Amino acid sequence: MARIKSKTEEASMDIPMTPMIDVIFQLMIFFMCSIHFKSLEGKLYSYLPKDKGMNMTVVTDPILDEVRISLVYNESKPPYLAEIKIGQQSIPDWDALKKQLATIWEGVDKTDVDRIIPFKIDPKSPKIPVQSIVKVLDICNEIGVRKVEFAAKTTQ
């Protein structure tokens, strides 16, 4: 007797996963590479004066006052490696510097923009790390001082 063939030849229901995985990987790589995260980098404007330094013009009406922030190299104070001074006065830390500069800035006569006294950053050693300089610049920006200068030695 002929054996009746049972209905076992069902259509294969397996979904081929390989192309889907391939496409997903491609999309992942594409998005990973093209996505723009929120930019973490920023900048501080530090425009050089046009009429000072190498191309000096004669100053007929000099501004005699300035607020000099000195950074004295001290290796025992990482990561800034600097002792802070305003003029001759020692400042214990950055918060104190901010308070002190804010007080000075409050008392500055701001009526004539051209005659506002400059805040001068004076790194006493070339070894002072950039982070310290940027910290002072940052504090000046935060309290609203825009006229910040860098002290430098005159070179031939």
Partner 1 sequence: MKIKKSTITENVGFNMTPMIDIVFQLIVFLMLASDFTNTDIQRVWLPEAFSAVEDKSPDATRLMVNVMHEAPFKQDCPQAKYDGGRLVFPCQIPEHWHIMIKGATYDQEKLLQVLRVEGDLDRERKNDPNSPSNRPIMIRADAGAPFGIIEKIMEAAGRALIWKIEIGATNPQK
Residue with tokens 């825009």: 146
Could you tell me which residues are beta bridge partners of residue 85? 70, 90
Closest approach of partner 1 to the CB of residue 30, in Å = 7
Closest approach of partner 1 to the CB of residue 64, in Å = 23
C-beta closer to partner 1: residue 4 or 58: 58
C-beta closer to partner 1: residue 9 or 41: 41
Member of 67, 81, 84, 101 binding partner 1 (CB under 8 A) = 81
**DSSP string covering 20-37, please?**
HHHHHHHHHHHHHHH--P
Q: Which residues within the stretch 112-151 sit at the binding site for partner 1 (CB under 8 A)?
A: 123, 125-135, 137-138, 141-142, 150
Q: Are 139 and 97 within 8 A, CB to CB?
A: yes
Residue with tokens 């889907």: 20
Closest approach of partner 1 to the CB of residue 55, in Å = 7
Closest approach of partner 1 to the CB of residue 57, in Å = 12
Q: Is 46 in the site for partner 1 (CB under 8 A)?
A: yes
Q: Is 54 in the site for partner 1 (CB under 8 A)?
A: yes
Closest approach of partner 1 to the CB of residue 1, in Å = 25
d(CA 6, CA 48): 91
CA distances from 17 to 10, 30, 131 (A): 20, 20, 53
d(CA 27, CA 2): 55
Instruction: Count CA atoms within 13 Å of residue 77 on its CB side.
Output: 17
| Site of interaction with partner 1 (CB under 8 A) | 18-19, 22, 26, 29-30, 33, 39-50, 53-55, 78-79, 81, 123, 125-135, 137-138, 141-142, 150, 152, 155
